[in-house]
Amino acid sequence: SKPLFNKTAFVTGGSRGIGAAIVRRLARDGAAVAFTYQSSAAVAEALAAEIDAAGGRALAIRADAADSAALTAAIARAAAEFGGRIDILVNNAGLLKLGPVAEFSLADFDQTVAVNIRAVFVASQAALRHMGPGGRIVNIGSTNAERMPFAGGSVYAMSKSALQGLVQGMARDLGPRGITVNNVQPGPVNTDMNPESSDFAAGMHGLMALPRHAQPDEIAAMVAYVAGPEAGFVTGANLMIDGGFAA
């Protein structure tokens, strides 16, 4: 009943939204879970305490994903506290900057690349120092890698498309080590980034086979599957969980 018993996991951006749901789910499945946040210290510590109180093991670490030294140090710290191993890495931290390409600032472009792409590479390298056969790397991409039906999303879509190539290539590199690498691509999910109550929600729902937002737990369930022992043959995959947004 605890498929991740004796496993250790590291989740970036675990304080809120999809990341917090992933942290809760992996902990419920038996993993010891370390997770990062950028600024929500109180929320992050409360989540770690909630998991500890339920008999699990969690560790909240402040580390800006754009700061490669801080992110690498956070992973080394988690590995040290968890007996030297990181079995599961979930690259979830991400940001959404919208704007027309003609006016999009270079600072926002660089920040998007730093958090949504570069940090995935940095965290993967750091975690691989502590990952053995059976290891799992799971990225949170987006359905926008396949379909960007609105204006203003070019840089965000680019950042999520980049993860597709990274995942496919990394799967080839790491197959011989018994490590799988996958990309979970959600459609609209009810979080602070994309509340189901926003003015944009109806426009998104109009494009979908299932006209609603997902709840974060639904995304966490797919991550738990890909991170778990039954998914050993799934690698290099870009897995849609988008209510048919891109269908």
Catalytic residues: 156
CB of 94 to ligand NDP, least distance (A): 2
Nearer to ligand NDP (CB atom), residue 114 or residue 174: 114
The contact set with ligand NDP (CB under 6 A) reads: 12-19, 36-40, 64-66, 92-96, 115, 140, 142, 186, 188-189, 191-194
Nearer to ligand NDP (CB atom), residue 29 or residue 146: 146
CB of 6 to ligand NDP, least distance (A): 26
Nearer to ligand NDP (CB atom), residue 70 or residue 134: 70
Packing angle, helices 17-28 and 41-53, rounded to 10? 20
DSSP-derived 3-state class of residue 225: helix
**Half-sphere CA count of 3, side-chain side, radius 13 A:** 14
- The C-alpha atoms of residue 155 and residue 78 are separated, in whole angstroms, by 32
CB of 222 to ligand NDP, least distance (A): 12
CB of 194 to ligand NDP, least distance (A): 3
**For residues 188 and 144, is the Cβ–Cβ distance under 8 A?**
no
Angle at 87 between CA 85 and CA 90, to 5 degrees: 125
Nearer to ligand NDP (CB atom), residue 115 or residue 222: 115
**For residues 51 and 57, is the Cβ–Cβ distance under 8 A?**
yes
CA dist 214 to 53, 71, 125, 188, 195, Å?
Answer: 28, 29, 31, 6, 10
